[in-house]
């Protein structure tokens, strides 16, 4: 394509903001319209990001013939109906994580997108994060030998938006919200050909009894075909901002990534100093500001990748098949949580 890839941003909330930050440093695209379910948010988002048009009519946006890529940055319950509309219209689409609320919905999205014969990308930032990509390169070069055990932690003090606390709409609590990152990181480090065959999970509501019926803390253990283990720690009760870490232990060495607790700047301020980091609980005292969050988390790299895939007609390295696999693993995790035993993953 010699012309810019024309994008419709579907959503005007937290993740849509990060996608726009990521796209700000990507060449060869233009966000021409954004959709929101309310006029006020649609117009405010468009004004903030200098987008020419905004809309509250999803059918009208999907029907536009001048859009090359649709990015679904909507609440979980909207992923399935919007994705099916896009597939029916045979449009290129990218969806934020988790792909769906459960395995069955994810399968419908994957099957419809595959039948449409168009590009479908799963926007899992973790495997596009520069430090995670570098860790994978070290593994591929044989630096730590055979991967044996991966430990990942994703935690913060709780979702920013009220709808995240409603497990009927989202599909689950902290494990559903956060484990998708850890699961895909483990698959990336072990290699996707090394399937996760069995899982064990624990979850409990330890703090937010009045806000959600779901778990606000969880552990998920992944058993790979090779015998390797993935260990995922998830929490909605951790104070001090997003905690995002990985450990990869192999037969010949180990790798460690720490995006948020090992930042290149720390500060002590006696007065509020403005935005610090995602999910920060305070903006004064000792803080660890994170420069270029969209770059560090992988938003810029994944947005560039998906734009290039549309431009070149290439298959993304993260597709709805990956999202479906993650949803299948999460479903097995919730079954394990209920039954208190190891559960085979059904693909």
pLDDT in tens, 210-267: 999 999 999 999 999 999 999 999 999 999 889 999 999 999 999 999 999 888 899 9
**DSSP bridge partners of 220:** 201, 232
Question: What span, in angstroms and rounded, lies between the C-alpha atoms of 287 and 67?
Answer: 42
Confidence of residue 87 (pLDDT cuts 50, 70, 90): very high
Amino acid 161: pLDDT:
87
Question: What span, in angstroms and rounded, lies between the C-alpha atoms of 245 and 189?
Answer: 13
Query: 166-191 pLDDT, tens per residue?
Result: 999 999 999 999 999 999 999 999 99
Return the percentage of the chain with pLDDT > 70, whole number. Answer: 100
The mean pLDDT of 267-295, rounded to a whole number, is 90
Q: Are the C-beta atoms of residues 135 and 248 closer than 8 Å to each other? A: yes
Q: How far is CA 115 from CA 70, 100, 235, in A?
A: 17, 18, 37
Cα radius of gyration rounded to whole Å, the chain: 20
Give the count of beta carbons closer than 10 Å to the beta carbon of residue 47: 10
The mean pLDDT of 64-88, rounded to a whole number, is 97
Question: What span, in angstroms and rounded, lies between the C-alpha atoms of 223 and 153?
Answer: 17
Amino acid 1: pLDDT:
53
Token pair, residue 303, equals 């947005």
The mean pLDDT of 30-48, rounded to a whole number, is 96
Residue with tokens 């509309």: 85
Q: Are the C-beta atoms of residues 345 and 198 closer than 8 Å to each other? A: yes
Q: Are strands 147-155 and 217-224 parallel, antiparallel or unpaired?
A: unpaired
- CB environment 257-278: b (16+ within 10 A), e (fewer): bebbeebeeeeeeeeeeeebbb
Return the percentage of the chain with pLDDT > 90, whole number. Answer: 91
Confidence of residue 29 (pLDDT cuts 50, 70, 90): very high
Amino acid 314: pLDDT:
98
Amino acid 273: pLDDT:
87
- Residue 103 predicted with pLDDT over 60: yes
Helix (H) or strand (E) holding 83: helix 76-88
- Residue 155 predicted with pLDDT over 80: yes
Amino acid 279: pLDDT:
87
Query: Could you give the domains of the chain?
Result: 5-126+299-318 (3.40.50.720), 127-292+328-344 (3.30.360.10)
Confidence of residue 278 (pLDDT cuts 50, 70, 90): confident
Amino acid 160: pLDDT:
83
Q: Are the C-beta atoms of residues 316 and 305 closer than 8 Å to each other? A: yes
pTM score, two decimals?
0.95
Confidence of residue 301 (pLDDT cuts 50, 70, 90): very high
Give the count of beta carbons closer than 10 Å to the beta carbon of residue 102: 19
Mean pLDDT of the chain: 96
């Amino acid at each position: 394509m010699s012309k810019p890839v024309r994008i419709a941003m579907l959503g005007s909330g937290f993740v849509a903001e990060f996608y726009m930050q990521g796209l700000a440093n990507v060449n060869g695209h233009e966000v021409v319209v954004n959709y929101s379910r309310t006029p006020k948010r649609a117009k405010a988002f468009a004004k903030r990001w200098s987008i020419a048009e905004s809309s509250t009519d999803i059918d009208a946006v999907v029907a536009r013939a001048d859009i090359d890529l649709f990015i679904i940055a909507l609440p979980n319950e909207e992923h399935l109906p919007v994705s099916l509309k896009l597939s029916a219209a045979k449009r290129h689409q990218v969806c934020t994580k988790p792909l769906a609320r459960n395995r069955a919905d994810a399968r419908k999205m994957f099957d419809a997108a595959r039948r449409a014969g168009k590009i479908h990308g799963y926007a899992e930032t973790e495997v596009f994060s520069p430090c995670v990509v570098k860790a994978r390169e070290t593994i591929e070069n044989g630096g730590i030998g055979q991967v044996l055990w991966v430990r990942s932690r994703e935690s913060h003090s709780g979702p920013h938006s009220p709808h995240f606390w409603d497990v009927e709409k989202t599909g689950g609590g902290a494990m559903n919200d956060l484990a998708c990152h850890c699961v895909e990181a483990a698959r990336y480090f072990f290699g996707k050909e090394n399937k996760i065959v069995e899982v064990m999970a624990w979850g409990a509501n330890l703090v937010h009894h009045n806000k959600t019926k779901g778990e606000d803390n969880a552990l998920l253990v992944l058993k790979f075909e090779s015998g390797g283990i993935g260990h995922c720690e998830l929490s909605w009760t951790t104070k001090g901002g997003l905690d995002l870490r990985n450990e990869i232990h192999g037969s010949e060495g180990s790798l460690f990534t720490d995006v948020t607790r090992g930042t290149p700047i720390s500060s002590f301020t006696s007065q509020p100093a403005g935005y610090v980091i995602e999910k920060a609980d305070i903006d004064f005292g000792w803080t660890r500001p994170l420069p270029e969050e969209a770059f560090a988390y992988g938003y810029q790299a994944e947005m560039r990748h998906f734009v290039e895939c549309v431009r070149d007609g290439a298959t993304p390295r993260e597709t709805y098949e990956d999202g479906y696999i993650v949803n299948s693993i999460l479903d097995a995790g919730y079954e394990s949580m209920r039954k208190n035993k190891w559960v085979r993953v059904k693909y």
